[in-house]
């Protein structure tokens, strides 16, 4: 766990996974220094972009949020990210029992901090809040994070690559379901009057 | 007359149906990619009616469902029913007839769609001569399948056969009822139902075709091949039987959720919504059963592309069967209906579940039919990552496009007028359609790799001859 951990998480994740597999790894240091920090990045970028440039949803005029609206939006964004992150860590810890992996909570927190680092770094795209531009940047980052999930699980949790692939696919299922649930929740809130004005 | 144990299983038919399925997968997926390109560049129809979106789209869906899907289901049903019954196929010549005649119907039916023959019913576009031919062939398929079960040497009927049997019976019922029509010429008929009744019958058919063919039929595949590949019995056999009956009971009610906010009674829509939500329980019971079966298998995954595909297909099955009920909730549906979110949902099922489980089963089946190792393990592994990335990119681009469309179409200004015109919204979709085109090309390329790999595995090899086990005890436990 030496050197610039953030850069290692981005460019040498395999080394970080190997370090994490060490029984004496200082996982708490990763959690203290990075886990919370990376959860803060997307909402901050989103707040800056949304309040300064306005979101382009594909229509002609960008949609601006007022100061209160953008702060509330960013706060909920942060809240949802934390719930999603902690939910995924909890599910991963729960699945670890089935697949014979290490079940230390701090290890799972660390592991998912590394896995989602490319995704939160790509949230820099929120500074230019155009939906397509964000999709263009975030989708490859998501695929990168998915690859890290499959590669990192067996190394960090001390299981065979086969079990890693099974556990990884189960977690992909959970993540897809969580993502579509979030989409459904947002749409339901919009149709019940929260957010943008809809002609319903 | 020879005893069954002295005969061989009829696996040549299975091999041929796998080859037909591969052919239709490539053709129908290529048409899908071409269609997605047409949405970006409409001039790609070159002014030809037969290349227009309206004619190619049903060719894509019918090619996938009737060509790729049903050929794969017939192949796996014929393979598994023999092994779970310890008996060769009943009336093998009829099975051969079904295998070839089905391809002729798909080919001619596809050409008729290009010529503009259509009943205008989604997934049931083929006109009455093809409907009659499909009915007759389906009855023959059922005769071979149930005839084989009737001559089984094992008392219990294994769960995969319940799902395949459900597929055959329910699809026959749906197909006949939905296609009742009055022919006025060789290429035109009019439905016996009118207006909203026609819509309700159509989506009773449409949704249950998804249910009993694309879900139930492929679950039959899973229940036979997953235990074979993992070497583990199903995690809970009791759960599989309970899930089968719960699935059969609840699916049949859910069709009208395709008609939310349309001119059918509100209570019918609400009932469909509630039954769609209930449907989540049996769907996920099956997914959990599959995942728990796999989780007990530790050392089987190494160099085993079949299991990788099947595990991933279960993940997408979980997504699709969660997303469907969620989209049936009226407050979600009001935004998602008529948008590309629906297209994304359909493809999370079609690519992620149906195609991937079929690919996994083919990677298991073909080397066994040919009696040799897979031609290239490396190609199969490349295919796995192409299928995963293609499917993810497809779903994500359609989620983004669909939610944008739903919100922009419904957005109003302070005066209550629509904020965006339909043209503006559709023009802004081009980038997403570009991503979808790339996703489709990745998935199709992976399918081409697999087709090459499997055909090379089969090349020059006659099907391996396998005899049914010689002895079966009266308790049903084979020795």
Q: Which residues of B touch A176 (CB under 8 A)?
A: 315-316, 318-319, 348, 395
B288 interface with A at CB cutoff 8 Å: no
- pLDDT in the model for residue B476: 43
- Chain-chain contact of B334 with A191 (C-beta, under 8 angstroms): yes
Query: Per CATH, is B7-411+420-458 categorized as 3.30.420.40?
Result: no
Nearest Cα residue in chain B from A98: B295
* Of residues A152, A129, A162, the one with CA closest to residue A21: A152
Cβ of residue B213 closer than 8 Å to a chain A Cβ = no
| Smallest Cα distance from A3 to chain B, Å | 32
CA distance B383 to B362: 13
CA B409, chain centre distance (Å): 31
CB of B390 closer than 8 Å to CB of B351: yes
- What distance in Å separates the CA atoms of residue A100 and residue B295, rounded to the nearest whole number? 10
Interface test with A, best of B261, B307, B325, B326 (most A CBs within 10 A): B326
b/e map of B235-260 (b: 16 or more CB within 10 Å)? beeebbeebbebbbebbbbbbbbbbb
Instruction: Inform me whether the C-beta atom of residue A196 falls under 8 Å from chain B C-beta atoms.
Output: yes
Read off the pTM.
0.91
Is it the case that residue A30 has pLDDT exceeding 90?
no
- Chain A hits for B386, CB-CB cut-off 8 Å, are none
Decide if B332 and A188 are in contact by the 8 Å CB cutoff. Answer: yes
For B390, nearest residue in chain A (alpha carbons): A143
Nearest by CB to B319, from A139, A166, A176: name it: A176
Q: Compute the distance between CA of residue B44 and CA of residue B127 in angstroms, rounded to an integer.
A: 27
Question: d(Cα B36, Cα B57) in Å, to the nearest integer?
Answer: 10
The Cα B228–Cα B378 span in angstroms is: 23
What value, to the nearest 5°, has the Cα angle with vertex B237 and ends B232 and B241?
145
Calculate mean pLDDT across residues A104-122.
Answer: 90
Q: Decide: B342 and B402 in contact? Cβ < 8 Å.
A: yes
List the one residue out of A183, A142, A35, A138 whose CA is nearest residue B336. Answer: A183
Cα B221 to Cα B160: distance, rounded to the nearest angstrom: 7
Residue of B232, B289, B318, B340 to mutate for A, most A C-beta atoms under 10 A:
B318
Strand segments, DSSP code E, in B375-475 are none
State how far residue A86 is from chain B, nearest Cα, in angstroms.
20
- B48 contacts: CB under 8 Å, gap ≥ 6: none
- Note the pLDDT of residue A52: 74
* pLDDT attached to residue B2: 52
Chain B: closest CA distance from residue A196 (Å): 7
- Of B301, B334, B418, nearest to A165 by CB-CB distance is B301
Q: What was the ipTM of the complex prediction?
A: 0.82
Q: Which of residues 340-369 of B touch A (CB under 8 A)?
A: 348
CA distance B281 to B273: 14
The Cα–Cα gap between B356 and B362 comes to: 10
Given an 8 Å threshold on Cβ–Cβ distance, is A181 in contact with B424? no
pLDDT of residue B49: 95
User: Across residues A159-165, what is the average pLDDT?
Assistant: 85
Q: Which residue of B has its CA nearest to A150?
A: B385
> Measured between CB atoms, which of B314, B336, B431 is closest to A132?
B431
Range among A62-71, A90-99, B23-32, B397-406 rated most confident: B23-32
Q: Are B321 and B281 a contacting pair, CB within 8 Å?
A: no
A184 touches chain B (CB under 8 A): yes
Asked if A199 and B418 come within 8 Å (Cβ–Cβ), the reply is yes
On chain B, the residues whose CB falls within 8 A of the CB of A197 are 411-414
pLDDT score recorded for residue A76:
86
For A181-193, what is the mean pLDDT?
Answer: 85
> pLDDT tens per residue, chain B (479 residues)?
455 556 899 999 999 999 999 999 999 999 999 999 999 999 999 999 999 999 999 999 999 999 999 999 999 999 999 999 999 999 999 999 999 999 999 999 999 999 999 999 999 999 999 999 999 999 999 999 999 999 999 999 999 999 999 999 999 999 999 999 999 999 999 999 999 999 999 999 999 999 999 999 999 999 999 999 988 899 999 999 999 999 999 999 999 999 999 999 999 999 999 999 999 999 999 999 998 888 777 556 667 899 989 999 999 999 999 999 999 999 999 999 999 999 999 999 999 999 999 999 999 999 999 999 999 999 999 999 999 999 999 999 999 899 889 988 888 888 888 888 888 888 888 889 999 999 999 999 999 999 999 999 999 888 889 999 875 544 444 43
Interface of B with A in 435-454 (CB under 8 A): 435
Question: Taking CB atoms and an 8 Å limit, are B329 and A173 in contact across chains?
Answer: no
Smallest Cα–Cα separation from A85: which of A109, A120, A119? Answer: A109
Task: Pick the more confident residue, A32 or B346.
Answer: B346
Q: Which residues are CB-neighbours of B171 under 8 A, at least 6 positions away?
A: B138, B209, B212, B213
Q: What is the DSSP letter of B420?
A: S
Beta strand pairing call for B181-185 and B188-191: antiparallel
Question: What are the tens digits of pLDDT across the range B465-476?
Answer: 999 987 554 444
CB B334 within 8 A of CB B261: yes
| CA-CA-CA-CA dihedral for B83, B86, B87, B89, to nearest 10 | -10
Residue among A61, A95, A135 with most chain B CBs within 10 A, to mutate: A135
Which of chain B's residues have a Cβ under 8 Å away from the Cβ of A163? Answer: 298, 301
A98 touching chain B per CB within 8 A: yes
Nearest-CA distance A133 → chain B (Å): 9
CA distance A84 to A79: 9
* B420/A163 touch (CB, cutoff 8 Å), yes or no: no
Q: Is residue B62 helix, strand or coil?
A: helix
The H or E element spanning position B188 is strand B188-191
- In this complex, how many residue pairs, one in chain A and one in chain B, have their CB atoms less than 8 Å apart? 137
Quick check: B407 and A190 CB within 8 A? yes
Three-state secondary structure string covering chain A: CCCCHHHHHHHCHHHHHHHHHCCCCCHHHHHHHHHHHHHHHHHHHHHHHHHHCCEECCCCCCECCCHHHHHHHHHHHHHHHHHHHHHHHHHHHHHHHHHCCCCCHHHHHHHHHHHCHHHHHHHHHHHCCEHHHHHHHHHHHHHHHHHHHHHHHHHHHCCCHHHHHHHHHHHHHHHHHHHHHHHHHHHHHHHCCCCCCECC
Residue B189's DSSP bridge partners are B183
Going from N- to C-terminal start, the domains of chain A cover: 5-191
Buried b (16+ CB within 10 A) or exposed e, B163-199: bbbbbbebbbebbeebbebeeeeeeebebebeeeeeb
Å between B209 CA and nearest CA of chain A: 24
A196 and B416 within 8 Å at the Cβ level: the answer is no
Q: Which of A55, A57, A58, A165 best tests the B interface by mutation, with the highest count of B CBs <10 A?
A: A58
SS3 content of chain B, % helix, strand, coil (to 5): 75, 5, 25
A36 and B CB contact within 8 Å = no
Query: Could you tell me if B260 lies within 8 Å of chain A, comparing CB atoms?
Result: no
Q: Are B245 and B219 in contact (CB under 8 A)?
A: no
């Amino acid at each position: 766990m030496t050197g610039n951990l953030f850069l290692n998480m981005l460019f040498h994740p395999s080394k970080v996974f190997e370090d994490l597999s060490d029984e004496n790894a200082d996982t708490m240091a990763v959690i203290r220094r990075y886990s919370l920090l990376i959860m803060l990045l997307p909402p901050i970028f989103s707040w800056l972009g949304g309040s300064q440039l306005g979101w382009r949803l594909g229509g002609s005029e960008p949609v601006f949020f007022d100061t209160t609206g953008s702060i509330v939006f960013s706060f909920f964004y942060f809240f949802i990210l934390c719930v999603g992150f902690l939910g995924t860590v909890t599910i991963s810890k729960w699945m670890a029992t089935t697949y014979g992996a290490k079940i230390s909570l701090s290890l799972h927190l660390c592991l998912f901090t590394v896995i989602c680092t490319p995704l939160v770094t790509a949230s820099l795209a929120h500074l230019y809040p155009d939906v397509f531009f964000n999709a263009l940047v975030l989708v490859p980052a998501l695929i990168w994070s998915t690859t890290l999930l499959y590669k990192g699980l067996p190394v960090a949790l001390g299981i065979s690559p086969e079990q890693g692939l099974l556990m990884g696919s189960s977690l992909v299922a959970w993540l897809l379901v969580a993502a579509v649930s979030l989409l459904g929740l947002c749409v339901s809130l919009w149709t019940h009057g929260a957010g943008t004005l809809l002609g319903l | 007359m020879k005893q069954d144990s002295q005969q061989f299983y009829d696996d040549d038919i299975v091999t041929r149906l796998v080859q037909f399925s591969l052919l239709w997968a490539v053709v129908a997926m290529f048409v899908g990619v071409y269609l997605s390109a047409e949405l970006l560049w409409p001039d790609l129809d070159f002014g030809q009616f037969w290349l227009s979106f309206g004619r190619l789209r049903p060719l894509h869906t019918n090619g996938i469902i009737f060509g790729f899907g049903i050929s794969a289901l017939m192949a796996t049903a014929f393979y598994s029913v023999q092994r779970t019954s310890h008996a060769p196929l009943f009336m093998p010549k009829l099975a051969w007839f079904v295998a070839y005649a089905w391809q002729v119907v798909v080919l001619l039916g596809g050409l008729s769609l290009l010529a503009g023959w259509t009943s205008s019913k989604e997934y049931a576009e083929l006109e009455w001569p093809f409907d009659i031919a499909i009915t007759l062939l389906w009855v023959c398929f059922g005769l071979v399948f149930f005839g084989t079960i009737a001559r089984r040497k094992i008392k219990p009927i294994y769960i995969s056969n319940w799902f395949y049997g459900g597929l055959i019976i329910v699809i026959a019922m749906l197909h006949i009822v939905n296609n009742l029509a009055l022919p006025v010429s060789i290429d035109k008929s009019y439905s016996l139902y009118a207006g909203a009744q026609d819509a309700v019958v159509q989506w009773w058919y449409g949704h249950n075709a998804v249910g009993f063919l694309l879900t139930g039929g492929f679950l039959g595949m899973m229940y036979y091949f997953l235990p074979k590949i993992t070497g583990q019995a199903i995690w809970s056999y009791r759960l599989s039987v309970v899930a089968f009956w719960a699935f059969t009971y609840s699916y049949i009610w859910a069709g009208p959720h395709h008609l939310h906010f349309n001119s059918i009674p509100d209570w019918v829509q609400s009932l469909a919504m509630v039954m769609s939500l209930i449907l989540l329980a049996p769907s996920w019971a099956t997914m959990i059963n599959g995942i728990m079966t796999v989780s007990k298998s530790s050392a089987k995954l190494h160099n085993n592309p079949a299991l990788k595909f099947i595990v991933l297909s279960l993940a997408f099955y979980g997504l699709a069967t969660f997303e469907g009920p969620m989209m049936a909730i009226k407050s979600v549906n009001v935004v998602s209906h008529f948008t590309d979110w629906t297209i994304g949902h359909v493809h999370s099922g079609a690519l992620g579940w149906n195609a991937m489980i079929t690919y996994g089963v083919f990677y298991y089946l073909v080397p066994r039919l040919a009696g040799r190792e897979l031609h290239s393990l490396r190609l199969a592994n490349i295919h796995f990552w192409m299928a995963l990335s293609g499917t993810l990119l497809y779903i994500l681009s359609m989620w983004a496009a669909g939610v944008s469309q739903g919100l922009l179409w419904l957005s109003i200004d302070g005066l209550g007028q629509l904020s965006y015109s339909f043209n503006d919204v559709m023009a802004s979709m081009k980038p997403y359609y570009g991503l979808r085109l790339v996703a489709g090309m990745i998935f199709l390329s992976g399918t081409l790799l697999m087709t090459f790999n499997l055909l090379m595995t089969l090349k020059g090899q006659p099907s391996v001859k396998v005899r049914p086990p010689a002895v079966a005890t009266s308790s049903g436990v084979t020795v």
